Amino acid sequence: MSEPSTPVSRLSPLHDQHVALGASFTDFAGWQMPVRYTSDLAEHHAVRTAAGLFDISHMAEIAVIGEAAGAFLDEALAGRLSALSVGKAKYSLILDEHGGIIDDLIVYRITDHEFLVVANASNRDAVVAALTQRTADHAVAIDDRTDATALIAVQGPAARAVLEATSAFVAPELDELKYYAWTTGAFVADPASDDSVAVLVARTGYTGEDGFELYLDTAHAAGLWAALLEAGAPLGLQPCGLASRDTLRLEAGMPLYGHELGLSIQPVQAGLGRVVVTDKPHFVGKEAIERGPGDDARVLVGLAAEGRRAARAGYPVMAGDEVVGEITSGALSPTLGHPIAMAFVHPAHAAVGAQLDLDVRGSRIPATVVPLPFYKKEA
């Protein structure tokens, strides 16, 4: 009788580069991804003060193609994607029939008849399956391009300067590219031949800072990564892993699937009611959304505490002797210098200024409900 095989994690097209840089790795949604290169704090502060370079090639890229693509996405997703202009992007959600969140997405309109849907790595199969199932009455094609696509993010106040300093990379008028918009750039992979490869350059990110996300063919990812690192080093650019990405997004109040989002959570509970366009004739989950989650359904709040002890996901939130919520994400904020957390709590305790306690391994830590995000970059 043979022993059960151990699942093999997928490797990023940049895996060899991470090894050469001395990265520590972790399994994330079935991928071996760098969790850190030097220290979590140093990488976090690099993004807040200069720039960080992230490999996020584990994200899923799914094309929706056809003359009816816009109308299809209006029914398949919670937003109104048919109104999106070519060259623009929109944050959206894909819901199940109960109004639960299958995933949160970024949707780019590539042409009049093509959209690019970017999903979380852990939900790639679920999103592809849901979109495919929902094509039954629509003349559209679903094309999962994840395996052929690399995704590199440059985030931080010096992000644009890094791209502009990278001589092998060209993108027009980055200073005029608006947030949640994209343009086409080019990377000269072989200077001797002057041949270039197309790069989709999006002004998007998951850190609370200005920045860009670069989509390109996996075959050329290593070359672009190296060119960015070399050009960005004098500007303070550092390679950054998943640990700093998590504290950055937490400070920015950005939800993470499996923590603040999930099938048991409706958008309004997570503060994402604005993402759902309810005046559309139909979309999957509409009836459940219109009914709502119930008056006692817990809602997402921000919590700030004093001291150095941070509550982690799963820790109870207390009001007196009563458990009124649960932490979904928590950390000692590197930027703010005190513990922060997001939590789902009973709506009776969700008002800004409410005083609660965090149960940190049996110790009660006083905390205050505060507005999200915890951190917002200066204009």
Inside any domain, residue 215 = yes
Lowest-pLDDT range, 4-8, 34-38, 234-238, 325-329? Answer: 4-8
Q: In whole angstroms, give the CA distance from residue 344 to residue 359.
A: 14
Please give the model's pTM, rounded to 2 decimal places.
0.95
In a 10 Å sphere around its CB, with 0-12 CB exposed, 13-18 middle and 19+ buried, how is residue 47 labelled? buried
Inside any domain, residue 138 = no
Per-residue pLDDT band at 2 (split at 50, 70, 90) = very low
With 50 as the cut, is the pLDDT of residue 3 above it?
no
Inside any domain, residue 193 = yes
Inside any domain, residue 16 = yes
Inside any domain, residue 199 = yes
Q: In whole angstroms, give the CA distance from residue 267 to residue 224.
A: 37
Inside any domain, residue 118 = no
Inside any domain, residue 358 = yes
Which residues lie closer than 8 Å to 34 by C-beta, 6 or more apart?
A: 18, 21, 23, 24, 25, 55, 239, 241, 242
DSSP strands (E only) in 66-148 = 89-95, 101-111, 114-119, 141-144
In this structure, are 307 and 371 located in the same domain? yes
Q: Kindly report the backbone phi and psi dihedral angles of residue 374, in degrees, each rounded to the nearest multiple of 5, phi listed first.
A: -75, -35
In this structure, are 28 and 164 located in the same domain? yes
In this structure, are 298 and 361 located in the same domain? yes
Its domain, for residue 21, covers 10-54+149-179+187-249
Q: In whole angstroms, give the CA distance from residue 36 to residue 245.
A: 10
With 90 as the cut, is the pLDDT of residue 234 above it?
yes
Quick check: helix, strand or coil at residue 332? strand
In this structure, are 155 and 209 located in the same domain? yes
With 70 as the cut, is the pLDDT of residue 56 above it?
yes
In this structure, are 17 and 161 located in the same domain? yes
Inside any domain, residue 274 = no
In this structure, are 42 and 170 located in the same domain? yes
Distance of CA 239 to CAs 30, 153, 356, Å? 21, 10, 38
In this structure, are 213 and 302 located in the same domain? no
With 60 as the cut, is the pLDDT of residue 5 above it?
no
Q: How many domains does the chain have?
A: 2
In this structure, are 207 and 320 located in the same domain? no
CB 316, CB 326: distance < 8 Å: yes
pLDDT score at 194: 73
In this structure, are 219 and 299 located in the same domain? no
